[in-house]
Structure 1
Amino acid sequence: MSNQAGPSRHPAGPPPSRQPISLEPYVLDKLAPARLFKDAINGKLPWVSTAHHGYSTKAQISSIAFDDTGNGCVTAGEDELFNWWDITTGTKKKTYASHKYGLSQIRLTHKPTNVLHTSTKTNHDIRYHSMHDNKYLLYLKGHSARVRSIQMHPTEDRFISGGDDGTVRIWDLRQGKCQALLNNVGGSTIAAFDHAGTIFAVASSDLGVVMLYGTDAPDAIPFSHARLVDPELERASQPPRRPVFTSISFSNAGDLILIGTSSDVHYVVDGYDLSIHCRLVGHQGLETDRNGRREPQPRRGGSGEEVGWTADSRWVYSGSADGSVYFWDMASHQRPSDDAKLKAGGRIPYKTLTPTIRKKPEMFAEMGPSRAVRFNPRHAMMAVGGEQLAFMLPEREEKAPEGW
């Protein structure tokens, strides 16, 4: 597979700077593709008709992950390949095949040459792979249905997974086995650690419930749980349309939790009492096609990897079925203090936020839906994947040379 990139208006790597870049609006405003890889994904989906109601028939990038340094990146795709990228040069290092097992989500471990990926064929094992040696190190068996979420512990060689079998598992890579199990959570589940690794959150779409557990006592009952009830959906229809939860992640401080859905709304909930803090709207959920059409019943579609926090947790970003990338500014919508809640008689009413910034699909050429989006943990840089792959950097203001 060739490694040709589209035209660039930037240097290949992240902008050199000794000072951290604050993610002010003008920084995100200047984000534009520095590298556009039209061959990052290959082929068409063989099981989808070209007349399938506007849904894309091309294979898409399904997952993007950065390593801890921000200098390495991996992408996984529906072509059953995963690629290793060097962010400092903006080039592809190597391609690996998983035709036998398939793959959907991929994560780099704390060792930047090793990855975990979920399976879509044969069984539902999570596979631990060394890119340096191009071989599988472990097959982590336990899930009996599709794995829907996978996340490394922030400091340890452990990770958490949730799936359609209604279980949440914590794994230890040193021992190569499941360390803790939550059974019969209730339908399809997703899970994530907070940034300290001391608690983890679990969300179940079937139950419409979010739960918090202590990492040291995962088998105990949750110390906090709540139903996520959207009053706007209740007003729109009865019974209300129930969104499909597809991703969950904590802000850096742990005081807010982002719950991504496949529909046209994402939720930011209070990290303590789990009440809705903000509804994020304005994008097109990935359960829709590119024309905004959706099936009568909510469905997962290609959702799960398109929404997250920027590195400073000031912004929430999301991909969209129309190919755009949206940003919501959370700076003026921080969690209210407990005193403020007490004065308000309990819970402060939620807010519905529209995007502050939109990156239009025209800048990505033939991207299709922006299905996988990730912000670099160390640099002011993000990756956007769909039917192509774009590495985005803030455009620099070119100054004329002084003196002759």
Structure 2
Amino acid sequence: MSLTVLDDDMVRSMSIGAVFSDFVGKINSIDFHRKEDLLVTASEDDSVRFYDIANAKLLKTTYHKKHGADRICFTHHPSSVICSSRHNLESTGESLRYLSMYDNRCLRYFKGHKERVVSLCMSPINDSFMSGSLDHSVRIWDLRVNACQGILRLRGRPTVAYDQQGLVFAVAMEGGAIKLFDSRSYDKGPFDTFLVGGDTAEVCDIKFSNDGKSMLLTTTDNNIYVLDAYGGEKRCGFSLEPSQTTNIEATFTPDGQYVVSGSGDGTIHAWSINMRNEVASWNSNIGVASCLKWAPRRAMFVAASTVLTFWIPDNSKLNAEPGSMDTEPATQSQHISQ
């Protein structure tokens, strides 16, 4: 279903439309292509999987036993991705790989990080990308060259994100500090710093809204904050059930009006940012959803744990009462209707 204007009723009607349960282990990360109907996943079974989201169809699976598959994101090309390594990092130093899904080739290795990459994002406007690692560094790269283009040293677990225009990037670090950099002159240092008031938990995920006006932060304590991206003021915040071993992920809807997130108790929640109220709550049916993203151009989000689920509006529920939105998992063979 192509994206139309979202409202509370449509958000409440979201239900599972397709399920893929053939993973062996947890799904580590997921990413949608910005312009094509494609999804990529990286999981603990060392697989990278490629999906057609318009038809809920698995297109391709590749295995990466030597390096593993941890964080993943699309480049601008619909059949190439950047993937971080889980295995042999100390011996090879190959913390990141530029992969062609078309012909199963590694186009380039990127060496530099000494420990696992925990945050990865691609510039929306050029061939630059950023990685944040447990070695307390953020590295800036260019797909066209092997060498690192810039390094930021910082305290704590770094998390990185570009805004949708590619002009600004944000780096979260120890103590709930968010530093904003001009992506063209980051070597001059941050031009602004925000503090998430009172919460010193580490930020494990940052996202900018499509209009660039808001930032979405998720912390290791399962708190969610929506900040004004210009002044840093907190627009709203939500607390979720803690999860002992899994960081959760939250997502903006493409119109920037709603936030959807997993929770430590295995539920999924949606909130209206402007009204600051919860719009819907569902049983995820897959346990704690550690990966959750809304598709850029569709009325669809994907939630993943050890199982991948596609959520789409259920027309039969659009006029139902909010309290009657219980969902049941579909079988793996069910596909999303176009």
Match of 2:64 in 1: 98
Residues 1:190 and 2:190 are matched in the alignment: no
Larger radius of gyration: 1
Check whether the contact 1:193–1:199 (CA below 8 A) recurs between aligned residues.
Answer: yes
Partner of 1:7: none
Residue 249 in 1 paired to residue 207 in 2? yes
Which sections of structure 1, spanning at least 5 residues, go unmatched?
1-14, 43-58, 234-241, 289-300, 333-352, 399-404
Kindly indicate whether the alpha-carbon contact (under 8 Å) linking 1:261 and 1:285 is maintained by their aligned counterparts in 2: no
Which residue pairs with 1:280 in the alignment? Answer: 238
Aligned equivalents of 2:177 and 2:37: distance in 1? Answer: 36
- Take 1:318 and 1:209, find their aligned partners in 2: how far apart are those partners? 22
User: What aligned pairs does 1:359-398 form with structure 2 within 5 A after superposition?
Assistant: 359-361=282-284, 364=285, 367-397=286-316
Q: What whole-Å deviation, never above 9, does each CA across 1:72-108 have from its counterpart, x for those lacking one?
A: 1111111111211111221111111122112221111
CA distance in 2, matches of 1:191, 1:155: 16
Which structure ranks higher in relative contact order (CA pairs < 8 Å, sequence separation ≥ 6)?
Answer: 2
Task: Find 1:115's aligned residue among 81, 95, 116.
Answer: 81
Alignment of 1:73 onto 2:39: yes
Give me the whole-angstrom Cα distance separating, in 2, the residues matched to 1:108 and 1:87: 15
Match of 1:164 in 2: 134
Q: Could you tell me which amino acid in structure 2 is paired with residue 25 of structure 1?
A: D
Give the whole-Å Cα distance in 2 for the aligned partners of 1:215 and 1:90.
36
The equivalent residue for 2:221 is 263
* TM-score, normalised with respect to structure 2: 0.87
More strand by share: 2
Closer, same or farther: CA 226–31 of 1 in aligned 2, 3 Å: closer
SS of residue in 2 equivalent to 1:191: strand
Match of 1:209 among 147, 155, 177: 177
Q: Describe the SS at the equivalent of 1:219.
A: helix
Q: 1:321, 1:371 within 8 Å by CA — same for their partners in 2?
A: no
One-letter amino acid of the counterpart of residue 197, structure 1: G
Give the whole-Å Cα distance in 1 for the aligned partners of 2:250 and 2:84: 19
Whole-Å separation in 2 of the counterparts to 1:215 and 1:200: 6
Mapping for residues 255-404 of structure 1, pairs under 5 Å? 255-281=213-239, 283-286=240-243, 288=244, 301-303=245-247, 306-332=249-275, 353=276, 355-361=278-284, 364=285, 367-397=286-316
Change (3 A) 1:285 1:128: farther
CA–CA separation in structure 2 for the residues paired with 1:264 and 1:207: 15
2:7 matches 1:24: yes
Deviation >3 Å, runs of 4+: none
- Whether the 8 Å CA contact 1:151–1:161 is kept in 2: the answer is yes
Cα offset, 1:312, TM superposition: 1.3
Q: TM-score, structure 1 length as denominator? A: 0.73
Deviations, residues 348-367 of structure 1 (Å, cap 9, x unaligned): xxxxx553211223xx3xx1
Unaligned runs of 5+ in 2: 318-338
